[in-house]
């Protein structure tokens, strides 16, 4: 199952950026949304790294080189 949180945070970031550029939101709010989006992307990368490491461990455990 794909990790969907980064997609949602990217959409929220785009909306916050539009609001901030239009003068409808403060920069602090935009930066908070950006921090959350980056955090979600970092979590996704860590999850992918763990998944790949698990597959490598499984391959080695079953006799793979």
Q: How many domains does the chain have?
A: 1
For residue 57, give its domain range.
5-61
1 or 47: which leads in pLDDT: 47
Q: What is the pTM of this model?
A: 0.72
pLDDT band at 25 (very low <50, low <70, confident <90, very high): confident
DSSP string, 24-56: SS-HHHHHHHHHHHHHHHHHHHHHHHHHHHHHH
* Residue 24 scores a pLDDT above 90: no
Cα torsion 55, 57, 63, 65: sign: positive
Taking alpha carbons only, the member of 49, 39, 55, 50 closest to residue 6 is: 39
The tokens describing 16, both together, are: 């916050």
pLDDT band at 3 (very low <50, low <70, confident <90, very high): low
* Residue 48 scores a pLDDT above 90: yes
């Amino acid at each position: 199952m794909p990790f969907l949180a980064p997609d949602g945070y990217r959409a929220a970031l785009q909306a916050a950026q539009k609001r901030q550029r239009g003068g409808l939101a403060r920069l602090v709010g935009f930066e908070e949304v950006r921090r959350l989006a980056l955090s979600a992307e970092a979590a996704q990368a860590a999850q992918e790294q763990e998944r790949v490491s698990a597959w490598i461990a499984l391959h080695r455990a079953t006799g793979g080189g």
